[in-house]
Amino acid sequence: MAAPTVFPINDLSPYHRSWTIKARVTTKAATRTFTRKTGNGGEGKLFSVELLDAEGGQIRATFFNEGVDKYEKMLQQEKVYLFSGGSLKIANRQYTSLSHRYEITFDSACHVEVASDDVAIGKMRFEIVDLRALQSRQLPCNVDLCGVVQSFAEVAKITSKAGAELIKRDIVLADDTGFTMTVTFWGELAQRKDSDFEGSPVLALKGIKISDFGERSGSSSSGSTISFNSEDLPEVKRLQTWWREGGSTSQLLSLTQRGGGVRADTKLMSLNEVRDATELCGAKNEYYNTVVRLSQVQLRRQGEKKEIYYLACAEPKQNGLKCNRKVSDDGHCPVCDKSVETAVRLMPRCQFSDSSDSLWMTTFDQGAQAVLGFSGETIRTTDRAGDKLESMLQPSLNKLPFKLTLRANRQEYQGESRARVDCIDAKPVSFAEHGRSLLKEIMDSIAVH
């Protein structure tokens, strides 16, 4: 029999009824089960692969039920096959990082056979999305990432709601757009040696799910892959150079909230509404979002100079996070009870304003770096050089709008109950996102749905 005519993946669409593609399996997810919603119900099964052909076309394909029985064991990652007999549908962006408009469904009618290897078909192809671009992506979505490992946590075991024991590891990924984001690896990816993540390697990550957990964060799935310091990707060399030539000491903004219990859908409030809400809050933390501008930084109190930074312990704890307790001038941490590496952390008292009100609040390090525009080390260096800090910070006042995450609770102070509001994070306002939020508020107020 004559060899079938191979169809380019990039040209696949529902309008082509009969086709054969020759492609390499670049990723393969584990088989999972689901409850059927049609027919007699019962349990179904599926697994997904990503396919790459000689022209660089990529597409996601999912095998169902009889297709799983026929080909689950046969298909191996990095091998080349001929595929036919599938149907196409619009791709679901929650499950694929590929740019192809469609994805393939294979069932009992499909046919797959082993093909000779083809050096023209690459081993893997990434469609990298930078961290800045993730600010405007509709969530959840699935993307390929490339970034420097800024920090990583130790492997941890947790128990799921279903009672299963899960293994995870959190890393903080940074790129040259000036942002960082936490990505959680699960299972085998999490159990890679600590030494793999040491020395700030550049990772290329394929198939990372981005969700609104902690506002923006990533998570691996069974089909995700990691490439360390890949020499085949121009993004890797670019990020290595950026990190070496100053990126490691740059002021970076995190897309991931670490306030604990903060939801991305926390109500957006004016400062006047925040003031009213704090009068009713209790000892339990409450969280609010607000869009404001920085109007003042407290550098003096009752005529005396007030420092807006402190020397913090940089010793990692068991959970991988730094101790961050204040250390003495000689570098001794009272919590760790030893001399430790230190870092300068900001904790200024700032006044923020909007059209409704203004509020003073303590602003913690990550948010403070964003609104002041300087790292803790730069602030300390300038402060020690003389009375130059006020003039350095002046241009930051009333300059840009920021979206703040606020934490409020009531505390006892000298026998009196007082409301306390702290800024735990700040990010420059995404005007597109803020505009959509305001439009939704208008539509809701006039009952337009």
pLDDT tens digits, one per residue of 164-189: 788 999 999 999 988 899 999 999 99
* Mean pLDDT confidence for 403-420: 83
370 and 223 together in one domain? no
In terms of C-beta density within 10 A (0-12 exposed, 13-18 middle, 19 or more buried), how is residue 434 classed? middle
Q: Decide if 127 is inside a domain.
A: no
Say which residue, 145 or 133, is predicted with more confidence: 145
Rg of the Cα trace of the chain? 26
212 and 297 together in one domain? no
* Mean pLDDT confidence for 142-165: 86
50 and 139 together in one domain? no
Report how many domains make up the chain: 4
Say which residue, 436 or 45, is predicted with more confidence: 45
338 and 439 together in one domain? no
pLDDT the model gives residue 260: 42
Residue 100 has pLDDT above 70, yes or no: yes
Q: Which sign does the torsion angle of CA 315, 318, 320, 322 carry?
A: negative
339 and 353 together in one domain? no
Q: Decide if 122 is inside a domain.
A: no
Q: Decide if 264 is inside a domain.
A: no
Residue 203 has pLDDT above 50, yes or no: yes
328 and 433 together in one domain? no
> Of the candidates 55, 85, 114, which is a domain's last residue?
114
> Of the candidates 321, 346, 371, which is a domain's last residue?
346
* Mean pLDDT confidence for 296-310: 91
| Closest C-alpha among 117, 138, 108 to residue 44 | 108
pLDDT tens column, 5-51: 889 999 999 988 899 999 999 999 889 888 877 666 678 899 999 99
Eight-state DSSP code of residue 38: S
150 and 77 together in one domain? no
Q: Decide if 2 is inside a domain.
A: no
pLDDT the model gives residue 2: 54
Amino acid code (one letter) for 306: K
pLDDT the model gives residue 213: 80
pLDDT the model gives residue 259: 46
CA distances for 207 relative to 122, 322, 357, angstroms: 17, 29, 44
Write out the DSSP string of 242-311: HHHTTGGGS--EESB--SSS-BTTPPB--HHHHHHHHTT--SS-EEEEEEEEEEEE--EETTEE--SEEE
How far the first Cα of the chain sits from its last, in Å, is 59
399 and 288 together in one domain? yes
Two tokens, residue 49: 């692969």
* Mean pLDDT confidence for 331-358: 91
Write out the DSSP string of 341-376: -EEEEE--EEEEE-SS-EEEEEE-HHHHHHHH-S-H
pLDDT tens column, 229-287: 998 899 999 999 999 998 888 778 888 865 444 444 466 889 999 999 888 888 777 88
157 and 224 together in one domain? yes
CA distance 214 to 183: 11
pLDDT the model gives residue 422: 92
Helix, strand, coil percent values for the chain (each to nearest 5): 20, 40, 45
341 and 356 together in one domain? no
CA distance 153 to 164: 21
> Of the candidates 87, 114, 141, which is a domain's last residue?
114
Q: Decide if 14 is inside a domain.
A: yes
Most confident of 39-43, 63-67, 436-440: 63-67
**257 neighbors 425 (Cβ within 8 angstroms):** yes
Q: Decide if 4 is inside a domain.
A: no
Give strand pairing partners of 45.
33
- Which residues, in sequence order, are CB contacts of 295 under 8 Å at separation 6+? 351, 352, 353, 358, 397, 398
Q: Decide if 419 is inside a domain.
A: yes
> Which CATH number belongs to the domain containing residue 236 in this structure?
2.40.50.140
CA distance 370 to 402: 9
Count of beta carbons in the 10 Å neighbourhood of residue 164:
8
295 and 432 together in one domain? yes
Entry pTM: 0.56
Q: What is the mean pLDDT of the chain?
A: 87
pLDDT the model gives residue 447: 65
95 and 32 together in one domain? yes
**379 neighbors 257 (Cβ within 8 angstroms):** no
77 backbone φψ class: left, alpha, beta (φ>0; ψ -120 to 50): beta
pLDDT the model gives residue 41: 63
Residue 410 has pLDDT above 90, yes or no: no
Q: Give helix 365-372 / helix 376-384 axis angle, nearest 10°.
A: 70
Q: Decide if 265 is inside a domain.
A: no
Q: Is 321 helix (H, G, I), strand (E, B) or coil?
A: coil
pLDDT the model gives residue 415: 72
Q: Which domain holds residue 353?
A: 271-304+347-445
* Mean pLDDT confidence for 283-309: 90
